Amino acid sequence: MRDPIRALQSEKIPIRVLRATLASLGFGKKYDAYDDAERWTAPTGRLSVTIHATRNVAPMLRSSHRIGNLQVFELPPGATVESRYLKLSPTELSILLRLARAQRQYVSLVELSRSIKDGAAVSLRALTVHVFELRRKLRQGGASAQVTTKRTLGYVLSEIANPAR
């Protein structure tokens, strides 16, 4: 194990060293969803690493979407309400990310169900349950954003006009 690592350390480009190290440990590249990031997962699927490469030395700002006091982050995925972390399941976070990316535009039920699990559609019932839980967690977290449903158009993430405190 030490010989391959020593050979890798002699390379000059750190990102290649990191990729080769992950590959030698059995990690596999899961997807390239973003231009400057890639996710690698362990063979068991319980551990994943996201490589987020920067082109300059300045610290990189996390790309995010802000709706009221809710901030939704792309990489690493997450959400905060007034700088407090909002605990969401991976499916709820996928739904929230997709709705935040839509920038206050409606996302159809079919499109939203396909964007949750890499193209494999989730049943309408399961989607409704996850959206219900997401709404509950946003409300409990004190977010001034809400998920609204319009039967013919789908779901939208928007700011509440007068949030009750």
Give the up-direction half-sphere exposure of residue 29: CA atoms within 13 A in the CB hemisphere: 10
- Distances in whole angstroms, Cα of residue 43 to Cα of each of 21, 32, 40: 14, 18, 10
- pTM of the entire structure? 0.63
User: What's residue 145's pLDDT?
Assistant: 94
Token match 């997807």: residue?
A: 31
pLDDT greater than 50 at residue 157: yes
pLDDT tens digits along 6-25: 444 444 567 777 778 878 88
Q: Which two tokens stand for residue 27?
A: 């990690």
Radius of gyration, alpha carbons of the chain: 19
Select, from the ranges 6-10, 35-39, 123-127, the one with the highest average predicted confidence (pLDDT).
Answer: 123-127
How confident is the model over 50-61, as pLDDT tens digits? 776 665 555 556
Domains of the chain: 2-52 (no CATH), 64-159 (1.10.10.10)
Q: What's the mean per-residue pLDDT of the chain? A: 79
